[in-house]
Amino acid sequence: MTASTLRTTLVRLAGAVGMLLVAAPGIAQDDTSLTTLLGDEEPARVGDYVGLSSCANGACHGAVQPREGATIRGDEYVTRVLDPHHRAYEILSSRESREIAEALQPGTPATAMSLCLDCHAINVPASKDRGLFRDEGISCEGCHGPAGGWWNRHFEDGWSHQDSLDAGLVDLRSPAARAEQCLGCHQGEPAREVDHRLIAAGHPRLVFELDNYSSLAEIVHWLPDATRARRNGRRASHGLRAWAVGQAVGLREGVALLAHRADPATSSERPWPEFAEYSCESCHHVVGDGAWRRQPGYAFQGGLPPWSRAHWLVLRPLVADVAPDRLDSLDAQVDALADLVASMSRRAEVATTARTLANDLRPVVTALDRARWTTERARRLIDQLVAERERLLASDEASARQLAFSLQSLVAHLVRTDRRLLRDPMVDAVDDLFETLDRPGFDRATFAAELDDVAPSGE
């Protein structure tokens, strides 16, 4: 057994023992760090990644079930086994991933490609890696940040949450910060992105919505907002607040990535246009029956592929409701950017316009973060989103999917406030939207017609 294999075994064994200690009465537990147990020459530093098992002690995050009355659930380590992020690296060994890798770099397995590892594992330089194992997928530090500066101190008396943030913890209490962290992989950023080359090789096009993806029962490893609010007066950080903020951050980060892709100064060696920015059906459509021809009422320039405005379709009613003074300006900027992207040239202008829009969206993020997310506002926004059906008819499948996710978040909020609404027809109507989206070939007319059924009854 090599030294590396021995260390891997010891780390995992220490994590497993830690998980069992909490269930073993009479066994004393101490705060001896794993680094000390394994005899590392020097302590971990800020920016170092220490590995999943550093969180696994039964007295910390390795409990076999949630602890009553604690400030954290305590079973986070166990819960993540059910989390899709846990299987992120494993997916790279699937047949589909092998085919994608072969199309991109023949002879190179997906499990060895940095392009894949950047989002399917914690892919950091060896100098920052103090116990990571790629087969753990996206583990705790993938979302919470490198723990070297705080993991063995954050439980000390007098150590504050701000101390941890200063030492490298990512502030996931903030919906905006959480959206940025998630979107780095789930939408893409300059250092790691799913571009048209990767999509053409077989990778799914990225779709993400913060509230829905955060609320999947299998990955919830935090205390409910209501519980935290009762204990320390904090505002809700999930639900509608996360949904609204996530939409604004999604558009902001999306146009920032667009600016990077288009800017000759940062991407001079890559081709422009980047086809991932366009609606897929601009090119991928049936041509034999003439359905591709420009239809009456088509809102875009004939012969030019439209830019996908998926986040703006949903964000627009939000801005109209929460920050109406900014709506006309943002509308004009989005239209100008869409025209530039559709031109398939003028890349420097695309980059400048996109950066300006990204900057102007920052106060919108703040306004949405500070807004009060009431049941009345949720009902009003459902009506406003349903009223976007005409814009939807001139849009794409990605926009329809964001709209469906948004209506699901709003309806879920109403159901949480009144469980009787579980029997309301609007719940089934939202399910119908997703069924339509999941059928081969996006039927925008059917989807738009189904929107009318998504409204709480008895109003």
Per-residue H/E/C for 85-100: HHHCCHHHHCHHHHHH
d(CA 386, CA 230): 35
- Using the predicted structure, report yes or no on whether residue 291 has a pLDDT greater than 70: no
Peptide bond into 273 cis (omega under 30): yes
d(CA 96, CA 101): 9
Q: Give which of 367, 303, 307 is closest to 339, Cα–Cα.
A: 307
User: Strand pairing partners for 307?
Assistant: 278
Mean pLDDT of 174-192: 93
Distances (CA, A) of 253 to 77, 192, 356: 30, 13, 12
Least confident of 4-13, 268-277, 376-385, 446-455: 4-13
At 41, is the pLDDT very low, low, confident or very high (cuts 50, 70, 90)?
Answer: low
> Helix, strand or coil for residue 435?
helix
CB of 53 within 8 A of CB of 12?
A: yes
Q: Is 145 left (phi over 0), alpha (psi -120 to 50) or beta?
A: left
CB of 175 within 8 A of CB of 225?
A: no
Least confident of 164-173, 199-208, 371-380, 384-393: 384-393
- Using the predicted structure, report yes or no on whether residue 25 has a pLDDT greater than 70: no
At 273, is the pLDDT very low, low, confident or very high (cuts 50, 70, 90)?
Answer: very high
Q: How far is CA 339 from the centre of its chain?
A: 28
- Using the predicted structure, report yes or no on whether residue 215 has a pLDDT greater than 50: yes
d(CA 144, CA 405): 25
pLDDT at 88: 93
At 31, is the pLDDT very low, low, confident or very high (cuts 50, 70, 90)?
Answer: very low
By CB atoms closer than 10 A (0-12, 13-18, 19+), residue 294 is exposed
Among 46-60, 112-126, 203-217, 271-285, the range of highest mean pLDDT:
112-126
Output phi, psi for 278, to 5 deg. -105, 160
Distances (CA, A) of 199 to 13, 101, 275, 277, 337: 39, 12, 10, 12, 23
At 374, is the pLDDT very low, low, confident or very high (cuts 50, 70, 90)?
Answer: very high
pLDDT digits (tens, 9 = 90+) for 400-410: 999 999 999 99
CB of 426 within 8 A of CB of 405?
A: no
Q: Could you tell me the two tokens for 38?
A: 């394994």
d(CA 3, CA 439): 52
For residue 244, which amino acid is it?
A
d(CA 415, CA 427): 9
At 393, is the pLDDT very low, low, confident or very high (cuts 50, 70, 90)?
Answer: confident
Among 64-73, 100-109, 301-310, the range of highest mean pLDDT:
100-109
d(CA 30, CA 145): 25
16/124: higher pLDDT: 124
Which stretches within 387-439 are classed as H helix? Answer: 389-393, 397-417, 425-438
- Residue reference for tokens 């530039």: 340
63/42: higher pLDDT: 63
Q: Give which of 28, 37, 201 is closest to 106, Cα–Cα.
A: 201
At 302, is the pLDDT very low, low, confident or very high (cuts 50, 70, 90)?
Answer: low
107/266: higher pLDDT: 107
Q: Identify the DSSP state of 221.
A: -
pLDDT digits (tens, 9 = 90+) for 327-338: 999 999 999 999
d(CA 456, CA 459): 7
- Using the predicted structure, report yes or no on whether residue 231 has a pLDDT greater than 70: no
Least confident of 18-22, 78-82, 327-331, 375-379: 18-22
pLDDT at 372: 93
Q: CA-based diameter of the chain, in Å? A: 77
Side-chain half-sphere CA neighbours of 295 within 13 A:
6
- Using the predicted structure, report yes or no on whether residue 167 has a pLDDT greater than 90: yes
At 17, is the pLDDT very low, low, confident or very high (cuts 50, 70, 90)?
Answer: very low
- Residue reference for tokens 């053409």: 200
At 429, is the pLDDT very low, low, confident or very high (cuts 50, 70, 90)?
Answer: very high
pLDDT digits (tens, 9 = 90+) for 307-333: 888 889 999 999 999 999 999 999 999
Average pLDDT score over the chain: 83
3-state secondary structure 442-453: CCHHHHHHHHCC
With b for 16 or more beta-carbon neighbours within 10 A and e for fewer, the 397-415 pattern comes to bbbbbbbbbbbbbbbbbbb
pLDDT at 65: 84
442/172: higher pLDDT: 172
Mean pLDDT of 385-396: 84
Least confident of 33-37, 228-232, 433-437: 33-37
- Using the predicted structure, report yes or no on whether residue 207 has a pLDDT greater than 90: no
At 376, is the pLDDT very low, low, confident or very high (cuts 50, 70, 90)?
Answer: very high
d(CA 293, CA 316): 28
Q: How many CB atoms lie under 10 A from the CB of residue 201? A: 14
Among 215-224, 293-302, 339-348, the range of highest mean pLDDT:
339-348
- Using the predicted structure, report yes or no on whether residue 7 has a pLDDT greater than 70: no
Single pTM value for the model:
0.85
- Residue reference for tokens 């003028």: 346
Mean pLDDT of 292-296: 49
- Using the predicted structure, report yes or no on whether residue 19 has a pLDDT greater than 50: no
Cα 39-42-47 angle, rounded to 5 deg: 120
